[in-house]
Amino acid sequence: MDPYSTEGELINIHTHFYQSQYQEVIDFDTSSFSAENELPVRVLKLRARIALGQAEDVVADVKGEAVPDLEAVGALAEYTLGKTDSALKTIEKLASSAADNVTVQVVGGTVLQAAGKSEEALALLSQHQGSLDAVALIVQIHLQQNRTDLALKEVTAARRWAQDSLLVNLAEAWVGVRVGGEKYQQAFYVYEELAQGSSTFSVPSLIAQAVCEIHLGRLEEAQSALELAVQKDPKNAEGIANLLVLNSISGNNTDELVESLKQANPNHQLLLDLEEKSSLFDKAAAKYSAKA
Amino acid sequence: MQSSPGMLTKFESKSSRAKGIAFHPKRPWILVALHSSTIQLWDYRMGTLIDRFEEHDGPVRGVDFHKTQPLFVSGGDDYKIKVWSYQTRRCLFTLNGHLDYVRTVFFHHELPWILSASDDQTIRIWNWQNRSLICTMTGHNHYAMCAQFHPKEDLVVSASLDQSVRVWDISGLRKKHSAPTSMSYEDQIARANQNQTDMFGNTDAVVKFVLEGHDRGVNWVAFHPTMPLIVSAGDDRLVKLWRMSETKAWEVDTCRGHFQNASGCLFHPHQDLILSAGEDKTIRVWDLNKRTAVQSFKRENDRFWVIAAHPEINLFAAGHDNGVMVFKLERERPASAVHQNTLFYITKEKHVRSYDFQKDVESPTLLSLKKLGSPWVSPRTLSYNPAERSILVTTPADGGSYELLSLPRDGSGVIEPTESKRGSGNSAIFVARNRFAVLNTANQTIDIKDLSNNTARSFKPPAGTTDIYFGGTGNLLIITPTTVYLYDIQQKKTTAELAITGVKYIVWSNDGLYAALLSKHNVTIVTKTLEQISTLHETIRIKSATWDDAGILLYSTLNHVKYALLNGDNGIVRTLDQTVYLVRVKGRNVYCLDRAAKPRILRIDPTEYRFKMALVKRNYEEMLHIIRTSSLVGQSIISYLQKKGYPEIALQFVQDPTTRFDLAIECGNLDVAVEMAKELDKPKFWTRLGTEALAHGNHQIVEMCYQKLKQFDKLSFLYLATGDHSKLARMAKIAEHRGDFTARFQNAVYLGDVEDRIQMLKEIDLYPLAYATAKSHGLEEECEAILEASGLTEDQLTLPTMGKPLAPPKPVVSTFKSNWPNKASSQSYFESALLGQVEGLSLEDESNTANGIEAEHATKEETADKLIATAGEDDDDAAGWDMGDDDVPEIDNDFVNVDSAEAGGAGSCEADIWARNSPLAVDHVAGGSFETAMQLLNRQVGAVQFAPLKPRFLEVYQSSKTFLPALANLPTLLNYVRRTVDETDLRKVLPIIPRDLEHLASNDLQKGYDSMKANKLEDGASIFKGILHAILVNAVSSESEVAEAKKLIVSAREYSIAMDIELARRNLGSIDEIAQDPAKVKRSLELSAYFTIPKIEVPHRQIALLSAIKVAIKSKNYNSALGFANRIIANGGSSKIVENAKKTKAQCERNPNDSIEIEFDQFAEFEICAASHTPIYSGAPFEECAFDGSKYHSSYKGSICKVCEVCEIGKHGSGLRLFS
């Protein structure tokens, strides 16, 4: 039986993970779980800890473990700590030795994609056997490659066999925000359902809901949602970044938000991007000058 | 009396005797009824026979065109009247009834009636609509020779061999055949009681007058078109003029001269003349008022039988024993001369007038030439001498004479010339300010005369000289029938000559470098030294020509205005409904004189010839301008460009994909060809594209073509040739899928894949070959396996000796990675400019050109992107194969695509698409493409200093995308915020723009106003500049919003200038500092005055005026203060301010003087230079900022605009685009 199916033991903890409720994942009581699920649970909990920024603990935790799953998680932790080379080496080794391991596929795919090796990530993930985790990751990779068409295809295919799974809904929402039009509203419903339920709430979901509202042009709603998100998690760089974008769209001054974003995550891609564009601007502007 | 030279034959036909003729009222057609039973339809302009109608039996005597319908009627000796359609070219029906020859037939001018006169002594009226006879008029007792309707009244006139002319009243007939509704009760009573009948009881047509006077039979009779006059011609050789009143008619006079039977006569349609023709072989022209002979024309052998006049234009036709001649009585070309902006010409009344081209005004008569020559002969030429304001007029009367007259300064009615100098000569022209040349053809001399008409010198021109023209300073052009000579008057010798026949007119270009020699059917363009440049032939007669300022000749034929370029290219500019004589062309106006010698303006579209001229001169800017500003399309221009070898330019005009494809192939523009081939998607096009691309070495396109065409073998070979092993491998796989063993074998050979070959050979049971292959490659294991499978042993086989195994060469260079580099020159300057124009651009300087080319590269890259994208779309199809799907792919797929996902890679992000979708700078900014955005702004408004726009650029850019959290530990998903929220078509999506027009108007502008009110001018100035920057990088959603945006720009500009001025005043120093320096005091006063000039909102202007009053009064400039106070009062508004102003006014009026003179005239119209803050008076030269429109003294040209701080002053762009 699929441990992730509706009757499976792992369904709730897994759902928590993908709802970005990482603390709930860690706190999940798994003592009654059967032995065969011990490893997947451990992997999930470790990944949740990485997501919460406790990568060092994770590295220490998995040190010396020879199970491919744990090695992969260890590599992810290393990667988030900046040890990209050794992380990649581990993943590449795993990709050739244990490519049929779904954890290796998903976690390895994450690392590869994070390192910008999309093709390798897709190659690894293409070997999955009906794993929604892998599908979701594939969708995200396609979207990051700006291949909305492929992402859409992947989601449509997954929808056929995975029905109303959370991951498929999420993946569909991601694609929807890209495609736009009516899809904005559909994506909004997905996130709203998550962000408004007390058991499903997480800051990232709320942020995603606000993003949909921005795209829908409902700026005031987006504003209140994002303010709430930042209030709940003042260190959440994505919340600040989106708030910054929103304020910019509304024609407000964004200097303060830039500062707080710098504090939250000085390497946020918005900041890096703006910096790059700023120098690009200066370079391009230098080509012009008045005659007199 | 001698035959006059004035009669000009325009057309002659040769045929049997012509008995009836009729002019078409509109077209240049004439119907001729012949004695041989044929009716001919001629085009007398072209001189061609259009049609023949042969249904009459025996001679046809009468024909007439219907005025409006495509009909004509004929009557002949077969007693029949036939009605024909010249459209369907057949006889519609026949009216039978006459009992003898039908002599004449005529249509009524408005009723559906035909009038016929017959030898059966009756005159009949027929209704051709219901094809019935409606009236028979009896009374003549001999052949009725001719009967005509009155052009307006209900009258008929008839002539008979019974020597009488009869006038019939047919008003009864009209009433009878009118619709009953139009008849009042009284009319009906009147008609019922009508007892006025002729002797047969006929009330429809009654004889009104019987005119007796001819001593023999009368052959012809005609009404005057307007006056109550009748003219008749008879066998007594006389032409008689009759007059009639309401109650009686009488003979007026007789024109004697014909010495044989007079067969036809008519009134001139416009002039007081009578024309008659007779069997004495003459046509005679008579003065209607004096009844004296004016002209006569004699033919050697042909008796004249009939004469007709064109109803509209000055043309006549006469039928004689051997055909028909169409002729004019006189030249209609008005004598004229052009000097600068003035045309001098001679009207039909022989008045000299002038016409101002610029003002489109005719002068009153300057001079009357009534006494010049004979009254019926108009002057032939006019030559004007601007230095003396005198004219030379020649007339052909009296064997040719000229007259030298001086023109009065301005005309005041009909003035007889006070003094004139005259002499005999055929041509007379001014050759210098005080010299003119006179040609006398009779004794073949040319005299050069001074202004007192004394001959200064005289010489013999080349034999047979017919005319002389001005030939440039000190030169004459002398025309003989076969040659044109350039004659130097000083040296008295011919300096150049050109063999050219029949030149009639010479027209010099405005710059005097070229001359057009016009003959009847040819235009020859020569240089001033008489070197022929080009010549062209016209089948239609050429009438006149004039040069435009750009050196293009416009000439008129009978029915067209055409142009000719120096290289001989010519074409039609417009058609003409009547003949005109061109005198000048300026822009879209062609000025000409019509045949009535009235100046007229014809509107033309000069686009086509300007474009061709630009093409010839390779003036690409001009061409670009024309292409952009006019709708220059059409097959002719395309084929012209193609013919002239500019397919790449023709490409720009074509929409039709097939033609576009052809042109693109022709000029080697593969990008366009690919685009079109995709659109057409037919094998034929792919094949051609493949061939062309191969020639270019563009193997990527070749590959695509082969894919589309499913040419697997070619593809394989291409991959082999380009060394693309991975794709070759894929081809092998495809071959396997297709079950095509030959292809598989071939691919395996290309790949050097021995195993696959052996495997394949085994699969098709060719074990011997498999064995041989394995053996030759030394694959012993495989050999044994094969032997085993086939149950043989090695010694049972004999093999030929084998050489070394074949291995395909390894590619040294990875050709497949990129195309052969092409020389960039294949793109013409013009084309790149056109492609680069996402937007209008001015190609002023090099940097812009470079930009254009850059942009063009960008387009190329985009195309490449698109290629990848389209390739990518089909990835999954190819992927399907790899997954080993069962269905054979090419069955349900349109074409083979061997690019799989691995080559697909990343797509283009939406931000890139924005830039592609939009020509607006702001969308490029949002897409992060700052370079192209800057290019656009630079071209649109001459933006050069972008630093102030940086905050706006970054603001727009950072508003463009959101960050969607997705899976843990991966970067967030970027999504692009659109202003087109409902749009999902990627070709139409556009980015969101922060601070749009509405936001600016309701927020920033109000803040600006607030700072003005609060006297925070520094803040205000930066707010308004910010508004300008925000509009500069912005987009609106409709044309009306564009107008609003422009308003906002204007108001931000005015505030910005106003605040700058006031700030400049405040920066002069503290009050004390200013007080110590008189220059500063003056400047302070001036600036405070200028502060009131910008067009800011009234309440704010009041503030400015108050401030100005304060400053002025302080310096005792009461007059200025008074002016300001008056303006405040005029502005009205807040009563407190107005009250104060009134007080000030009262105070100042006591002493309205300025103690300090300042440069401020409150009554003058001026604007403030935004840089120097000094006035620019209206009329003074100035430069502008192309974006905000702020004005500057011209010395600031090239520096940065002080208002927007972005654009270069005086640099003109295509204008800001906010809406696409």
For each of the domains in chain B, give its residue range(s) and CATH number, in order of start. Answer: 9-138 (2.130.10.10), 141-175+203-298 (2.130.10.10), 505-609 (2.120.10.30), 620-795 (1.25.40.470), 909-1067+1161-1219 (no CATH)
What is the rounded CA–CA span in Å between residue B1090 and residue B1054?
12
pLDDT for res B475? 86
Of residues B981 and B212, more confidently modeled: B212
With beta carbons under 8 A apart, name residues in chain B contacting A219: none
At B184, the pLDDT band (50, 70, 90 cuts) reads low
Q: Is the dihedral of CA A99, A105, A109, A112 positive or negative?
A: negative
pLDDT for res B675? 83
What does DSSP say about strands B229-234 and B238-244: parallel, antiparallel, or unpaired?
antiparallel
SS3 B23: strand
Tokens of B52: 């023949």
Compute the nearest-CA separation of B488 from chain A (Å): 53
Q: Tell me: the pLDDT tens digits for B1079-1109?
A: 888 888 888 888 888 888 888 888 888 888 8
Please give the full DSSP string across B43-59, using - where no structure is assigned. ETTTTEEEEEE---SS-
pLDDT for res B205? 82
Residue B872: pLDDT above 90?
Answer: no
Q: Tell me: the pLDDT tens digits for A89-143?
A: 888 888 888 888 888 888 989 998 888 888 888 888 888 888 888 889 999 999 9
At B709, the pLDDT band (50, 70, 90 cuts) reads confident
With beta carbons under 8 A apart, name residues in chain B contacting A208: 964-965
B1029 lies within 8 A of chain A by CB: no
Q: What is the DSSP letter of B330?
A: S
What is the rounded CA–CA span in Å between residue B1188 and residue B1047?
10
With beta carbons under 8 A apart, name residues in chain B contacting A184: 981
At B773, the pLDDT band (50, 70, 90 cuts) reads confident
Alpha carbon of B918 to those of A180, B894, B924, B929: distances in Å? 19, 32, 8, 12
Q: What is the 3-state secondary structure (H, E, C) of B824-878?
A: HHHCCHHHHHHHHCCCCCCCCCHHHHHHHHHHHHHHHHHHHHHHHHHHHHCHHHH
Query: Mutual orientation of helices A68-80 and A38-51 as an angle, nearest 10°?
Result: 0
User: How crowded is residue B79: how many other Cβ atoms within 10 Å of its Cβ?
Assistant: 20
pLDDT for res B179? 54
pLDDT for res B868? 41
Q: Which residue has the tokens 């202007």?
A: B1101
Q: What is the DSSP letter of B982?
A: T
Q: Per DSSP, what are the bridge partners of residue B162?
A: none
Contact B593, B345 (CB under 8 A): yes
Residue B278: pLDDT above 80?
Answer: yes
Residues in chain A: 292
* pTM of the predicted model as reported, rounded to 2 decimal places: 0.47
Residue B318: pLDDT above 90?
Answer: yes
What is the rounded CA–CA span in Å between residue B179 and residue B964?
86
Question: Domains in chain A, please, with CATH?
Answer: 130-179 (no CATH), 184-292 (1.25.40.10)
Asked if B875's CB is within 8 angstroms of A150's CB, the reply is yes
pLDDT for res A215? 92
pLDDT for res B631? 62
Asked if B984's CB is within 8 angstroms of A51's CB, the reply is no
Residue B362: pLDDT above 90?
Answer: no
Nearest chain B residue to A246 by CA: give it. B959
> φ and ψ at B1115, to 5 degrees?
-95, 10
How many beta-carbon contacts under 8 Å exist across A and B? 187
Instruction: Choose the weakest-confidence range: B66-70, B402-406, B483-487.
Output: B402-406
Nearest chain B residue to A146 by CA: give it. B907
Mutate to test the interface with A, among B940, B972, B1023, B1029 (most CBs of A within 10 A): B972
SS3 B293: strand
With beta carbons under 8 A apart, name residues in chain A contacting B1032: none
Asked if B945's CB is within 8 angstroms of A289's CB, the reply is yes
pLDDT for res B873? 41
B1037 lies within 8 A of chain A by CB: no
Asked if B965's CB is within 8 angstroms of A20's CB, the reply is yes
B905 lies within 8 A of chain A by CB: yes
CA B985 from chain centre, in angstroms, equals: 38
Give Cβ neighbours of residue B800 (< 8 Å, ≥ 6 apart).
Answer: none
Mutate to test the interface with B, among A84, A144, A235 (most CBs of B within 10 A): A144
Q: What is the DSSP letter of B1208?
A: B
Of residues A93 and B625, more confidently modeled: A93
Of residues B736 and A268, more confidently modeled: A268
With beta carbons under 8 A apart, name residues in chain B contacting A243: none
With beta carbons under 8 A apart, name residues in chain B contacting A272: none
> φ and ψ at B468, to 5 degrees?
-130, 150
What is the rounded CA–CA span in Å between residue B615 and residue B626?
11
Compute the nearest-CA separation of B1017 from chain A (Å): 21
pLDDT for res B630? 64
This model of the complex carries an ipTM of: 0.93
> Of all residues in chain A, what percent carry a pLDDT higher than 90?
18
Contact B1021, B1056 (CB under 8 A): yes
What is the rounded CA–CA span in Å between residue B890 and residue B867?
21
Average pLDDT, chain B: 82
Q: Over range B735-760, report the average pLDDT.
A: 82
> Of all residues in chain B, what percent carry a pLDDT higher than 70?
88
Q: Per DSSP, what are the bridge partners of residue B309?
A: B316
Asked if B943's CB is within 8 angstroms of A288's CB, the reply is yes
Residue B920: pLDDT above 80?
Answer: yes
